[in-house]
Amino acid sequence: MFKEEVAERYKLIQDAICTGLEVADGKGKFEEEIWERDGGGGGRTRIMQNGAIIEKGGVNFSAVHGKLPAAVKKAFNVTEEDFFATGVSIVIHPSHPLVPIIHMNIRYFELNEETRWFGGGIDLTPHYVFENDARFFHHKLKTACDDFDKDFYQKFKSSADDYFFIKHREETRGIGGIFYDRLTPKNTDLSFSKILEFSVNIGETFLPIYTELMDRNYEKDFTEKQKDWQYHRRSRYVEFNLVYDSGTKFGLETNGRIESILMSLPPQANWGYNVNPTADSEEYKTQQFLKKGINWI
């Protein structure tokens, strides 16, 4: 069946990314926990902690099924209850303040043959925005999108700008990326099989992007001030994930595994009072990039 094929393809992506990140880090190893969900299904949580570059990172796979809670049915605007959902979710928090945080999610949701869709995306949250890195990141995402539809990148880039926006701070979480939801043959020119290939292509884009960004920055010297700024920027990441992130909400509302859901949170974040970088500082410069609509291509 199609949903089993999607889950198997996603498992392979999880395996390849974990292997590649271990090689890139050079020290850290992923620890795996196999878990089962009350109500149906389960997953493989893989966490790396205290690596040479990766302070805390999760590469998680899940395939769950069961009855949709009423709140989720209302949010999805559906009436049926029996659901299946599978996906890979990744968040990497580096120890080095000049290496960015990265997030990826690829997922498939199904109620029946008529009601099913793909979603996902990749976004980057640098503690310090380097324009060359930002252009590299967005160029790679555009290439991955262009392989399937020339309109995808700009459409999904705009969606990411809107989605990864911290409303109460009036700033974006980072430099965006791509974000898409509810992709079906009805709103694309692709069959479900082709949308699966697009989803897999996005998943396979993650490793070469992030290992390149790691290699570019992990050997650079940094100061205590930059480390403090990293903890400050991490706090914004936490605020978004706990207040706005739909994946976090879905996991909590469907009785998901708490440790897997909250693996996205960093090991340490600081909330200083009224932090305002001085004008023309690198920290101030980074803040100027935390807005929607920047063209990085």
For the chain, give percent helix, strand, coil, nearest 5: 45, 25, 35
Q: Which of these is catalytic: 65, 93, 96, 103?
A: 103
One-letter identity of residue 66:
G
Q: Are residues 82 and 67 in contact, defined by beta-carbon separation less than 8 angstroms?
A: yes
CA nearest to 152, candidates 113, 118, 101: 118
Give yes or no: 96 in active site: no
pLDDT in tens, 277-289: 999 999 999 999 9
**Rounded to an integer, what distance in angstroms lies between the CA atom of residue 227 and that of residue 225?**
5
11 has a pLDDT exceeding 80: yes
Over residues 234-243, mean pLDDT: 96
Fold of 2-288: oxygen-dependent coproporphyrinogen oxidase (3.40.1500)
pLDDT tens, residue by residue, 70-93: 877 777 777 788 899 999 999 999
Say what angle helices 2-25 and 192-217 make with each other, to 10 degrees.
Answer: 10
Asked whether the beta carbons of 81 and 106 are under 8 A apart, the reply is no
How many other CB atoms sit within 10 Å of the CB of residue 147? Answer: 13
- What CA–CA distance (Å, rounded) separates 127 from 191? 39
pLDDT value at residue 156: 98
Contact 18, 29 (CB under 8 A): no
CB atoms within 10 A of CB 29: 13
Question: For residue 256, what are the CA distances in angstroms to 49, 161, 231?
Answer: 22, 27, 28
How far is residue 243's CA from residue 168's CA, in Å, rounded to a whole number?
10
pTM of the model: 0.94
The token duo for 20 is: 């590649």
Query: What type of residue sits at position 230?
Result: Q
User: Residue 79: its pLDDT value, please?
Assistant: 78
**Closest by CA position to 80, among listed 39, 107, 110, 108:** 110
Q: Where are the domains of the chain?
A: 2-288
The pLDDT assigned to 71 comes to 74
